[in-house]
């Protein structure tokens, strides 16, 4: 696991600039640094040594003839098989790294090399002879890759903060990204919060040649349900494939550990990974926010040592600016901060940790996936439901009314992912500025179009796989782990696991309670939970039946306390708060929450995190560690 930066060379002091950019991402690779600079390009790399920890694995890495230059972030889990194939073709290797496999795979197969890879990756290869730059991002978007065209200069790298070190970079806020963020809680557009800086989307590659940038998709998810196998067969197949994936994800020349919560995903990973150490964090003593006791009992049952930490409120709030700096773009997911602390806990013990991200999107785990056809009301004619919904929209919003409003809309109109903070009307009223941000459904429409013939559960999964998972789940996984120089691996997000999940019928992903037995009182992630249950110690198997909680953080409680209420209120009333928002509306949201009139915690947090991020990147507030 590493980080890289680069730019097409148009400047005289390229050596110093690339050094400055590398230093900005030193946390991604404190073990070694290297650079390559010529008249055409500058490449920089920071290394966290995981496979072939000798100096032979340092980057940039070169082909034997010196023509190809590689910088790479990630892991290729099937590199030994690909290497053997390439050696049969006559390619000679100088190192034991997975990185070198990428160089000769490109030499042998060109862009088709991506079809052979199994792993998480972002990389660029500079072809000196053809003056061509080739870059790619992995299938799910586990590892980040950003790019920016500033005049005649192309900047690219693992983190945006490195771009700020280049003299050609123009720092300007993308206000359209802000407006969309207020709805999604994460940066949902291709263009980031920095104008003219873009994310290379998952499963895409680019070729930059003669100052022209070409971007193409090379892989996609294709749900094709196979009704022939019965539930028992699917459960056995999941167990087999996931066991194999976990073993592949353990390949390393250093120790590997595992995160552990009380949820089925991380428990399943920890139960079969056979690592020595698990890591858990929580808040206070309330079991609603603290899973440490459960995690210690589970770890004891599987014969492993659990390391835990109770996060104090002062610690959580004290690191917010530093965390938003590490994130590059604002993210309003409160779990990101908790993840930051568990990564810090694990990094004191080892360099690599396994985690359970991706299981919900792949196997159908979110509670919202059980919504389609969940009630008798869903069986009413579409026209009647729409009429009732339109009438309900004219009434004051509350729980019962909201039900009819939602049911009156088609899935494509009502579901944009797991978070829906401010409606388009609410965000327009809240913002003092005006932007050209499109309606949220414009961003989701092309994903829905690709699965127009699928059932509603599959449509929701497909959308979350492409937007929510990459924009929120994997963003925080990468940035929070790398902030502590920790490699985070996600065995659910594997090509072979996805290949299997694509074939599982929707009824075995999300099912109805009436078709389950008394020992399996759940309806989401149905087949996967059964697989986890058979692979989990008997005394802890009830984990498979637990309702999904996410990563519980007591934000709604803290915002009612004077200390934290005041912190947020001061930020809302800051110059930036007044510049972008109608401050009186922000204060009303905050007061109504404090007085118990409404739970506005997520909306408040969404705005607060943007203003915190903005203070760091545009107002130069210190983001130093609180301690």
The C-alpha atoms of residue 492 and residue 496 are separated, in whole angstroms, by 9
Record: fold of 231-365+467-544: Rossmann fold (3.40.50)
The average pLDDT across 28-35 equals: 89
Question: 148 forms bridges with which residues in the sheet?
Answer: 155, 197
Q: In the chain, what percentage of residues exceed pLDDT 70?
A: 93
What residues pair up with 8 in beta bridges, in sequence order?
41
DSSP structure string for 434-470: ---PPPHHHHHHHHHHHTTTS-HHHHHHHHHHHTHII
Is omega for the bond preceding 60 within 30 degrees of 0, making it cis? yes
Specify the 3-state DSSP secondary structure of 577: helix
User: How do the residues of the chain divide into helix, strand and coil, expressed in percent and rounded to 5?
Assistant: 45, 15, 40
Report the pLDDT value the prediction gives residue 519, as an integer from 0 to 100: 52
For residue 278, the cross-strand partners are 258, 306
Range of lowest pLDDT (30-39, 124-133, 508-517): 508-517
Q: Give mean pLDDT, residues 520-533.
A: 83
Nearest CA to 610 among 162, 186, 144?
186
Which residues are catalytically annotated? 2
Q: Say if residue 516's pLDDT is above 80.
A: no
Instruction: Give the residue from 356, 374, 360, 377 showing the smallest Cα distance to 511.
Output: 374
CA distance 546 to 550: 11
* Lowest mean pLDDT, pick from 22-36, 55-69, 145-159, 305-319: 55-69
Of 106-120, 252-266, 484-498, the one with minimum mean pLDDT is 252-266
- pLDDT value at 28 more than 90: yes
Where does 89-207 have alpha helices with state H?
99-109, 175-184
Res 59: pLDDT: 85
Rg (CA), the chain: 24
For residue 376, with 0-12 CB atoms within 10 Å meaning exposed, 13-18 middle and 19 or more buried, which class applies? exposed
Residues of the chain with CATH 3.60.20.10: 2-217
Consecutive H or E run containing 572: helix 562-572
Mean pLDDT within 328-334: 97
Distance CA 64, CA 70 (A): 12
* Chain segment 269-299, per-residue pLDDT in tens: 999 998 999 999 998 765 566 788 888 989 9
| pLDDT above 90 as % of the chain | 78
Count of beta carbons in the 10 Å neighbourhood of residue 231: 16
Helix (H, G, I), strand (E, B) or coil at 584: helix
Name the token pair of 49.
């040594």
Rounded CA separation 568/559 (Å) = 8
Q: How far apart are CA 627 and CA 623, in angstroms?
A: 12
Q: What is the pLDDT of residue 288?
A: 60
Q: Given this model, what pLDDT does residue 626 score?
A: 44
CA dihedral 557, 320, 361, 248 (to 10 degrees): -130
Rounded Cα gap, residues 530 and 515, in angstroms: 14
What torsion do the CA atoms of 329, 331, 335, 340 make, to the nearest 10 degrees?
20
Measured between alpha carbons, how far is 408 from 8 in angstroms, rounded to an integer?
A: 52
Mean pLDDT within 185-214: 97
User: Tell me: the pLDDT tens digits for 445-472?
Assistant: 999 999 999 999 999 999 999 999 999 9
Per residue, what are the HEC states of 295-354? Answer: HHHHHHHCCCEEEEEECCHHHHHHCHHHHHHHHCCCCCCCHHHHHHHHHHHHHCCCCEEE
Q: How many C-beta atoms surround the C-beta of residue 240 within 10 A?
A: 12
Token digits of residue 544:
């498979």
Query: Do 477 and 357 meet the contact criterion of CB atoms below 8 Å apart?
Result: yes
Q: What is the mean pLDDT of the chain?
A: 91
What is the arithmetic mean of pLDDT over 617-627?
Answer: 76
Q: Who contacts 403 (Cβ-Cβ below 8 Å, separation ≥6)?
A: none
Nearest to 74 by CA among 18, 16, 133, 117: 117
Residue 518 has pLDDT above 70, yes or no: no
Q: Is residue 542's pLDDT more than 60?
A: no
User: Is 364's pLDDT higher than 70?
Assistant: yes
Among 98-107, 381-390, 447-456, name the one with the lowest average pLDDT: 381-390
What kind and span of H or E run contains 4?
strand 2-8
Other Cβ atoms closer than 10 A to 214? 9
Cβ–Cβ < 8 Å for 177, 102: no
pLDDT given for residue 284 in this prediction: 79
**Three-class SS of residue 220?**
coil
Angle at 416 between CA 410 and CA 419, to 5 degrees: 130
Strand arrangement, sheet containing 197-199: 32-37, 41-47, 2-8, 153-157, 146-150, 197-199
What is the reported pLDDT for 150?
Answer: 94
Chain CA centroid to CA 334, Å:
14
Write the DSSP symbol of residue 473. Answer: I
Which of 339-348, 397-406, 444-453 bottoms out in mean pLDDT, i.e. has the lowest? Answer: 397-406
Can you tell me whether residue 61 is helix, strand or coil? strand
Question: 47: helix, coil or strand?
Answer: strand
Residue 273 phi/psi, 5° resolution? Answer: -75, -25
Averaged pLDDT, 92-98: 90
> Token pair of 511, please?
């099912």
**pLDDT band for position 117 (50/70/90)?**
very high
Structure-derived torsion over alpha carbons of residues 469, 475, 480, 486, reported in degrees to the nearest 10 = 90
Q: Is 107 a residue whose pLDDT tops 70? A: yes
More confident residue, 54 or 56: 56
- Answer yes or no: is pLDDT of 425 > 90: yes
Strands (E), 77-203: 119-127, 132-137, 146-150, 153-157, 197-199
Least confident of 410-419, 422-431, 477-486: 410-419
Q: Tokens representing 265?
A: 């995903």
Average pLDDT over residues 407-416: 90
Contacts of 418 (CB under 8 A, 6+ apart): 366, 368, 464, 468, 472
The answer to whether residue 520 scores a pLDDT higher than 60 is: no
The CATH architecture to which 2-217 belongs is 4-Layer Sandwich (3.60)
The whole-angstrom separation of Cα 352 and Cα 333 is 24
Sign of CA dihedral 457, 532, 519, 503: positive
- Say whether pLDDT at 184 is over 70: yes
CB–CB of 475/324 below 8 Å? no
At 394, is the pLDDT very low, low, confident or very high (cuts 50, 70, 90)?
confident
Considering only residues 65 and 622, tell me which one the structure prediction assigns the higher pLDDT.
65
Mean pLDDT of 399-422: 88
CB hemisphere CA count around 410 (13 angstroms):
9
Q: Report whether 485 contacts 29 (CB < 8 A).
A: yes
| Rounded Cα–Cα distance for residues 36 and 31 (Å) | 18
Instruction: Identify the CA nearest to 107 among candidates 134, 73, 78, 80.
Output: 134
Predicted local confidence at residue 521, as pLDDT: 45
* 118 pLDDT above the threshold of 80: yes
The CATH 3.40.50.620 domain(s) of the chain lie at: 231-365+467-544
pLDDT over 60 (residue 543): no
Give the whole-angstrom CA distance, residue 265 versus residue 261: 8
Q: Are 514 and 382 in contact (CB under 8 A)?
A: no
């Amino acid at each position: 696991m590493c980080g890289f930066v680069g730019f097409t060379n148009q400047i005289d002091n390229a050596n110093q600039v690339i050094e400055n950019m590398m230093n900005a991402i030193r946390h991604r690779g404190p073990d070694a640094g290297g650079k390559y600079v010529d008249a055409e390009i500058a490449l920089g790399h920071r290394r966290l040594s995981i496979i072939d920890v000798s100096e032979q694995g340092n980057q940039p890495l070169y082909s034997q003839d010196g023509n190809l230059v590689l910088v790479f972030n990630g892991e290729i889990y099937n590199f030994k098989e690909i290497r053997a194939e390439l050696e049969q073709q006559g390619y000679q290797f100088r190192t034991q790294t997975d990185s070198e496999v990428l160089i000769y795979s490109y030499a042998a197969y060109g862009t088709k090399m991506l079809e052979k890879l199994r792993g998480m990756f972002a990389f660029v290869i500079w072809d000196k002879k053809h003056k061509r730059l080739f870059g790619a991002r992995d299938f799910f978007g586990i590892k980040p890759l950003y790019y920016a065209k500033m005049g005649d200069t192309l900047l690219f790298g693992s983190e945006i903060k490195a771009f700020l070190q280049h003299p050609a970079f123009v720092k300007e806020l993308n206000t359209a990204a802000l407006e969309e963020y207020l709805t999604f809680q994460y940066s949902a557009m291709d263009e980031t919060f920095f104008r003219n800086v873009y994310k290379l989307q998952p499963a895409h590659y680019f070729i930059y040649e003669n100052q022209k940038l070409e971007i193409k998709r090379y892989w996609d998810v294709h749900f094709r349900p196979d009704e022939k196998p019965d539930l028992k067969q699917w459960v056995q197949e999941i167990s087999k494939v996931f066991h194999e994936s976990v073993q592949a994800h353990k390949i390393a020349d250093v120790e590997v550990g595992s995160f552990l919560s009380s949820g089925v995903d991380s428990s399943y990973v920890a139960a079969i990974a056979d690592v020595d150490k698990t890591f858990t964090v929580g808040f206070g003593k309330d079991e609603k926010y603290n899973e440490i006791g459960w995690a210690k009992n589970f770890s004891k049952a599987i014969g492993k040592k659990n390391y835990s930490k109770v996060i104090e409120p002062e610690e959580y709030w004290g690191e917010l600016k530093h965390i938003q700096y590490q994130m590059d773009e604002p993210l309003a997911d409160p779990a990101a901060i908790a993840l930051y602390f568990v990564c810090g806990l694990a990094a004191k013990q080892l360099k690599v940790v396994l985690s359970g991200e991706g299981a919900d999107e792949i196997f159908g785990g979110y509670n919202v996936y059980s919504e389609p056809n969940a009630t008798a009301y869903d069986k009413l004619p579409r026209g009647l439901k729409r009429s009732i919904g339109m009438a309900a929209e004219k009434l004051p919003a509350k729980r019962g009314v909201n039900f009819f409003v939602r049911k009156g809309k088609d899935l494509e109109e009502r579901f944009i992912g797991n978070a829906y903070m401010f409606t388009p009307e609410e965000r327009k009223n809240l913002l003092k500025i005006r932007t050209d941000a499109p309606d949220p459904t414009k961003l989701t429409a092309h994903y829905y179009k690709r699965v127009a013939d699928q059932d509603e559960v599959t449509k929701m999964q497909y959308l979350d796989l492409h937007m929510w998972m990459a924009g929120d789940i994997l963003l925080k996984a990468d940035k929070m782990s790398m902030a502590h120089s920790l490699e985070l691996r996600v065995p659910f997000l594997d090509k072979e696991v996805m290949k299997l999940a694509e074939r599982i019928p929707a009824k075995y992903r999300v099912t109805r309670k009436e078709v389950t037995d008394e020992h399996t009182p759940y309806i989401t992630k149905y087949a996967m939970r059964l697989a986890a249950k058979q692979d989990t110690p008997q005394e802890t198997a009830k984990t498979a039946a637990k309702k999904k909680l996410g990563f519980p953080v007591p934000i709604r409680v803290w915002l009612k306390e004077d200390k934290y209420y005041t912190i947020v209120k001061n930020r809302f009333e800051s110059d930036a708060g007044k510049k972008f928002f109608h401050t009186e509306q922000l204060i009303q949201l905050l007061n109504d929450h404090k007085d118990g009139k409404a739970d506005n915690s997520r909306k408040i947090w969404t705005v607060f995190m943007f203003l915190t991020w903005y203070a760091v990147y545009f107002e130069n507030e210190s983001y130093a560690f609180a301690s």
